[in-house]
Structure 1
Protein backbone atom coordinates (compact mmCIF):
# COMPACT_ATOMS: atom_id res chain seq x y z
CA UNK A 1 0.00 0.00 0.00
CA UNK A 2 2.84 2.41 0.71
CA UNK A 3 4.11 1.99 -2.87
CA UNK A 4 0.87 3.50 -4.14
CA UNK A 5 1.15 6.63 -1.99
CA UNK A 6 4.70 7.72 -2.76
CA UNK A 7 5.31 11.25 -1.57
CA UNK A 8 6.99 12.37 -4.81
CA UNK A 9 3.99 11.25 -6.86
CA UNK A 10 1.55 12.93 -4.48
CA UNK A 11 3.56 16.17 -4.63
CA UNK A 12 3.52 16.03 -8.45
CA UNK A 13 -0.28 15.53 -8.41
CA UNK A 14 -0.69 18.44 -6.02
CA UNK A 15 1.44 20.74 -8.19
CA UNK A 16 -0.40 19.71 -11.38
CA UNK A 17 -3.73 20.32 -9.66
CA UNK A 18 -2.63 23.74 -8.44
CA UNK A 19 -1.42 24.74 -11.91
CA UNK A 20 -4.69 23.58 -13.49
CA UNK A 21 -6.82 25.48 -10.98
CA UNK A 22 -4.64 28.59 -11.29
CA UNK A 23 -4.87 28.59 -15.09
CA UNK A 24 -8.65 28.20 -15.02
CA UNK A 25 -9.13 30.92 -12.42
CA UNK A 26 -6.65 33.13 -14.25
CA UNK A 27 -8.68 32.73 -17.44
CA UNK A 28 -11.87 33.78 -15.68
CA UNK A 29 -10.06 36.73 -14.12
CA UNK A 30 -8.54 37.86 -17.43
CA UNK A 31 -11.86 37.59 -19.29
CA UNK A 32 -13.24 40.36 -17.06
CA UNK A 33 -11.06 42.74 -19.07
CA UNK A 34 -12.01 41.47 -22.55
CA UNK A 35 -14.82 43.01 -24.56
CA UNK A 36 -16.81 40.08 -25.93
CA UNK A 37 -17.27 41.20 -29.51
CA UNK A 38 -18.84 38.92 -32.14
CA UNK A 39 -15.33 37.95 -33.27
CA UNK A 40 -14.26 37.02 -29.72
CA UNK A 41 -17.54 35.10 -29.25
CA UNK A 42 -16.83 33.04 -32.41
CA UNK A 43 -13.35 32.26 -31.11
CA UNK A 44 -14.70 31.18 -27.72
CA UNK A 45 -17.37 29.04 -29.39
CA UNK A 46 -14.71 27.26 -31.48
CA UNK A 47 -12.44 26.58 -28.51
CA UNK A 48 -13.99 23.29 -27.25
CA UNK A 49 -13.75 21.70 -30.69
CA UNK A 50 -10.17 22.88 -31.06
CA UNK A 51 -9.24 21.31 -27.74
CA UNK A 52 -10.84 18.01 -28.73
CA UNK A 53 -8.95 18.00 -32.04
CA UNK A 54 -5.68 18.80 -30.27
CA UNK A 55 -6.23 15.91 -27.87
CA UNK A 56 -7.41 13.43 -30.52
CA UNK A 57 -4.84 14.16 -33.24
CA UNK A 58 -1.88 12.30 -31.67
CA UNK A 59 -4.13 9.31 -31.04
CA UNK A 60 -5.38 9.40 -34.63
CA UNK A 61 -1.88 9.59 -36.08
CA UNK A 62 -0.69 6.58 -34.06
CA UNK A 63 -3.98 4.66 -34.03
CA UNK A 64 -5.20 1.93 -36.28
CA UNK A 65 -8.41 1.30 -38.18
CA UNK A 66 -10.56 1.28 -35.04
CA UNK A 67 -9.37 4.76 -34.12
CA UNK A 68 -10.06 6.02 -37.63
CA UNK A 69 -13.55 4.46 -37.55
CA UNK A 70 -14.30 6.03 -34.17
CA UNK A 71 -13.03 9.44 -35.31
CA UNK A 72 -15.08 9.26 -38.52
CA UNK A 73 -18.20 8.50 -36.47
CA UNK A 74 -17.44 11.34 -34.05
CA UNK A 75 -16.86 13.80 -36.89
CA UNK A 76 -20.09 12.75 -38.58
CA UNK A 77 -22.10 13.26 -35.38
CA UNK A 78 -20.39 16.59 -34.76
CA UNK A 79 -21.24 17.84 -38.25
CA UNK A 80 -24.80 16.50 -38.26
CA UNK A 81 -25.82 17.29 -34.69
CA UNK A 82 -23.49 20.20 -33.80
CA UNK A 83 -22.96 18.63 -30.38
CA UNK A 84 -19.34 18.05 -29.31
CA UNK A 85 -20.27 16.04 -26.23
CA UNK A 86 -22.47 13.68 -28.24
CA UNK A 87 -19.68 13.34 -30.83
CA UNK A 88 -17.14 12.31 -28.18
CA UNK A 89 -19.56 9.78 -26.68
CA UNK A 90 -20.29 8.36 -30.13
CA UNK A 91 -16.60 7.98 -30.91
CA UNK A 92 -16.02 6.17 -27.62
CA UNK A 93 -18.97 3.85 -28.19
CA UNK A 94 -17.89 3.02 -31.74
CA UNK A 95 -14.34 2.24 -30.57
CA UNK A 96 -15.62 0.08 -27.70
CA UNK A 97 -18.03 -1.79 -29.98
CA UNK A 98 -15.34 -2.38 -32.60
CA UNK A 99 -12.95 -3.75 -30.00
CA UNK A 100 -15.71 -5.92 -28.47
CA UNK A 101 -16.42 -7.36 -31.92
CA UNK A 102 -12.73 -8.21 -32.24
CA UNK A 103 -11.99 -5.96 -35.22
CA UNK A 104 -8.26 -5.60 -35.86
CA UNK A 105 -6.92 -2.40 -34.54
Structure 2
Protein backbone atom coordinates (compact mmCIF):
# COMPACT_ATOMS: atom_id res chain seq x y z
CA UNK A 1 0.00 0.00 0.00
CA UNK A 2 1.21 3.49 -0.81
CA UNK A 3 1.77 5.84 2.08
CA UNK A 4 0.49 9.42 2.03
CA UNK A 5 3.88 11.01 1.37
CA UNK A 6 4.45 8.88 -1.74
CA UNK A 7 1.05 9.78 -3.13
CA UNK A 8 1.67 13.46 -2.34
CA UNK A 9 5.02 13.38 -4.14
CA UNK A 10 3.49 11.74 -7.22
CA UNK A 11 0.65 14.26 -7.33
CA UNK A 12 3.00 17.21 -6.85
CA UNK A 13 5.36 16.00 -9.59
CA UNK A 14 2.43 15.54 -11.98
CA UNK A 15 1.10 18.99 -11.12
CA UNK A 16 4.53 20.57 -11.59
CA UNK A 17 4.95 18.94 -14.97
CA UNK A 18 1.49 20.05 -16.04
CA UNK A 19 1.88 23.57 -14.70
CA UNK A 20 5.23 24.13 -16.41
CA UNK A 21 3.56 23.54 -19.74
CA UNK A 22 0.35 25.47 -19.07
CA UNK A 23 1.84 28.48 -17.27
CA UNK A 24 4.27 29.15 -20.09
CA UNK A 25 1.45 29.33 -22.59
CA UNK A 26 -0.72 31.43 -20.27
CA UNK A 27 2.05 33.96 -19.67
CA UNK A 28 2.98 34.11 -23.36
CA UNK A 29 -0.52 33.80 -24.85
CA UNK A 30 -0.55 37.32 -26.36
CA UNK A 31 2.85 36.97 -27.98
CA UNK A 32 3.87 35.39 -31.24
CA UNK A 33 6.43 32.72 -30.48
CA UNK A 34 9.40 32.08 -32.70
CA UNK A 35 9.98 28.48 -33.76
CA UNK A 36 12.87 28.30 -31.30
CA UNK A 37 10.77 29.54 -28.38
CA UNK A 38 7.98 27.16 -29.33
CA UNK A 39 10.44 24.25 -29.23
CA UNK A 40 11.61 25.35 -25.78
CA UNK A 41 8.03 25.51 -24.50
CA UNK A 42 7.28 22.03 -25.80
CA UNK A 43 10.35 20.52 -24.10
CA UNK A 44 9.92 22.01 -20.62
CA UNK A 45 7.97 19.00 -19.21
CA UNK A 46 10.72 16.67 -20.39
CA UNK A 47 13.29 18.80 -18.58
CA UNK A 48 11.28 18.59 -15.38
CA UNK A 49 11.11 14.82 -15.77
CA UNK A 50 14.86 14.61 -16.29
CA UNK A 51 15.45 16.57 -13.09
CA UNK A 52 13.37 14.01 -11.23
CA UNK A 53 15.18 10.94 -12.59
CA UNK A 54 18.70 12.42 -12.76
CA UNK A 55 19.58 11.36 -9.18
CA UNK A 56 19.30 7.75 -10.33
CA UNK A 57 22.52 8.26 -12.29
CA UNK A 58 24.46 8.43 -9.02
CA UNK A 59 22.49 5.73 -7.21
CA UNK A 60 24.27 2.75 -5.74
CA UNK A 61 21.17 0.58 -5.77
CA UNK A 62 21.29 -2.10 -8.47
CA UNK A 63 17.52 -1.94 -9.04
CA UNK A 64 17.64 1.80 -9.74
CA UNK A 65 20.61 1.46 -12.08
CA UNK A 66 18.95 -1.36 -14.01
CA UNK A 67 15.70 0.61 -14.24
CA UNK A 68 17.67 3.60 -15.50
CA UNK A 69 19.31 1.48 -18.20
CA UNK A 70 15.94 0.08 -19.25
CA UNK A 71 14.44 3.57 -19.34
CA UNK A 72 17.30 4.94 -21.43
CA UNK A 73 16.86 2.08 -23.87
CA UNK A 74 13.11 2.73 -24.03
CA UNK A 75 13.80 6.42 -24.68
CA UNK A 76 15.67 5.48 -27.85
CA UNK A 77 12.67 3.49 -29.11
CA UNK A 78 9.50 5.21 -27.87
CA UNK A 79 8.00 8.63 -27.34
CA UNK A 80 7.83 10.30 -23.92
CA UNK A 81 4.70 8.71 -22.43
CA UNK A 82 5.59 5.06 -23.17
CA UNK A 83 9.13 5.74 -21.94
CA UNK A 84 7.80 7.11 -18.65
CA UNK A 85 5.52 4.10 -18.25
CA UNK A 86 8.39 1.69 -18.94
CA UNK A 87 10.63 3.57 -16.51
CA UNK A 88 8.12 3.63 -13.67
CA UNK A 89 7.12 0.01 -14.19
CA UNK A 90 10.70 -1.25 -14.42
CA UNK A 91 11.74 0.71 -11.32
CA UNK A 92 8.80 -0.66 -9.34
CA UNK A 93 9.28 -4.24 -10.43
CA UNK A 94 13.05 -4.23 -10.00
CA UNK A 95 12.83 -2.58 -6.56
CA UNK A 96 10.35 -5.26 -5.54
CA UNK A 97 12.49 -8.11 -6.89
CA UNK A 98 15.97 -6.88 -6.00
CA UNK A 99 15.25 -4.58 -3.11
Smaller-chain TM-score range?
0.5 to 0.7
Quote the residue 2:94 is aligned against: 98
Quote the residue 1:61 is aligned against: 58
Quote the residue 1:34 is aligned against: 31
TM-score w.r.t. the length of structure 2 is: 0.63
- How many residue pairs end up in the alignment? 82
Quote the residue 2:8 is aligned against: none
Rg larger for: 1
Determine which of 70, 95, 99 is the counterpart of 1:73: 70
Q: Unpaired runs of 5+ in structure 1?
A: 1-15
> Shift of residue 32 of structure 1?
1.3
Q: Unpaired runs of 5+ in structure 2?
A: 1-11
> Shift of residue 26 of structure 1?
5.0
Deviations 1:52-97 (A, max 9, x none): 111111244245221111122112212211x212111111111222
TM-score w.r.t. the length of structure 1 is: 0.60
- How many angstroms apart in 2 are the aligned matches of 1:35 and 1:58? 36
- How many angstroms apart in 2 are the aligned matches of 1:92 and 1:75? 12
Quote the residue 1:49 is aligned against: 46
